[in-house]
Amino acid sequence: MTTPFCGMCLLGSGMILMHCAVAPAPSARRDDQRRHPEVAGILSAAALSTLALPGPAIRGSKRPRTFYLAVRPPIWTVSLNGQRLSRVPGTPVRLNLGPGRHVLRFGHTAVRPLRVVIGAGEPGRTLRHRLRWRPGILQVDTTPQPADATFRFLAPPALARLGPHPAGLPLTVSFPQSAPLAATVQVYAVGYQYARREVQLVPGQRSHLRVKLRRLRRRQGWEADPHCDPLDDRCRQQ
């Protein structure tokens, strides 16, 4: 009695060829294995190889894909599928990835995290991304603490457009391009000399500025007017 035997063969073009043959009865196979033991060994090894062959290797190429990391600013650390790769910030600059889907995560305390998914069939390329800065926080405290104590930025121009802000309350500062920022702050209150200070603003961090105000000897002219802006030249000329 004979039984049909079917097998599959993977061609170089990626197509799978199925072929069937009629196998001899078990008694006949045993006789053939006794006469030709080398044939039995080859068939056993072929069966094990077929079982161990993973599915993705049949569907896709085993050749690695090269990705170049052009991510700015280069302060990040990167992880691949949950495993950290960076030894120092901004590295590595090139990755060789095998077949399948991969997830890259870029992060740093100063920037918002970035997640990049690479598809199973996506070819190698240059990954160009710009990380977004986290906002910084500035708090200005004065001694003494007049109720109308106020501060504003004189520089850079992007922060000067924010206008006045009450002292003692934190102010969230955004970073459009470069960071950190060197800013000039002016603090003033009615009856006190206005003070000018320099402060460094860092993304993702809180900056604390303490200013000691000096009381004016005499309150006259624009300095005595509670409705006058001390930064307005028209008030200062009264």
Residue 173 lies in a domain: yes
Cis peptide before 166 (omega within 30 of 0): no
Mean pLDDT, residues 178-182: 89
Of 109, 111, 104, nearest in space to 73 by CA:
111
Mean of the per-residue pLDDT values for the chain?
77
**Count: domains in the chain:** 3
State whether 204 and 148 are in the same domain: yes
pLDDT value of residue 198? 97
99, 56 Cβ separation under 8 angstroms: yes
What is the domain extent for residue 83?
65-130
Strands 206-212 and 136-143: parallel
Contacts of 137 (CB under 8 A, 6+ apart): 170, 171, 172, 173, 205, 206, 207
Query: CA 9 from chain center: how many Å?
Result: 44
State whether 90 and 155 are in the same domain: no
pLDDT greater than 70 at residue 236: no
At what angle are helices 37-52 and 26-35 packed, to 10 degrees? 110
- Over residues 42-101, the pLDDT tens digits come to 333 333 222 222 333 334 457 899 999 999 999 999 999 999 999 999 999 999 999 999
State whether 230 and 150 are in the same domain: yes
Cα distances from 33 to residues 13, 18, 26, in angstroms, run 34, 25, 10
What's the full length of the chain, in residues?
A: 238
Element (H, E) at 4: strand 3-10
pLDDT value of residue 179? 87
pLDDT value of residue 217? 77
pLDDT value of residue 3? 47
CATH at residue 140? 2.60.40.1120
- Cα separation, 116 vs 141, in Å, equals 42
pLDDT value of residue 196? 96
Least confident stretch, 70-79, 97-106, 226-235 = 226-235
Structure-model confidence comparison of residues 190 and 18, the more confident one = 190
Residue 14 lies in a domain: yes
Give pTM, 2 decimals: 0.62
pLDDT value of residue 31? 52
State whether 91 and 145 are in the same domain: no
pLDDT value of residue 68? 97
Element (H, E) at 38: helix 37-52
The 3-state DSSP class for residue 113 equals strand
- Over residues 128-169, the pLDDT tens digits come to 999 999 999 999 999 999 999 999 999 999 999 999 999 999
Residue 44 lies in a domain: yes
62: how many CB neighbours lie within 10 A of its CB? 8
CATH at residue 120? 2.60.40
Cis peptide before 157 (omega within 30 of 0): no
State whether 151 and 210 are in the same domain: yes
Mean pLDDT, residues 192-205: 95
State whether 169 and 197 are in the same domain: yes
pLDDT value of residue 135? 96
State whether 140 and 223 are in the same domain: yes
Share of the chain above pLDDT 90, in %: 60
How many helices (H) does the chain have, and how many strands (E)?
A: 5, 16
Share of the chain above pLDDT 70, in %: 65
Phi, psi of 56 (to 5 degrees): -60, -30
Query: CA 81 from chain center: how many Å?
Result: 14
Residue 59 lies in a domain: no
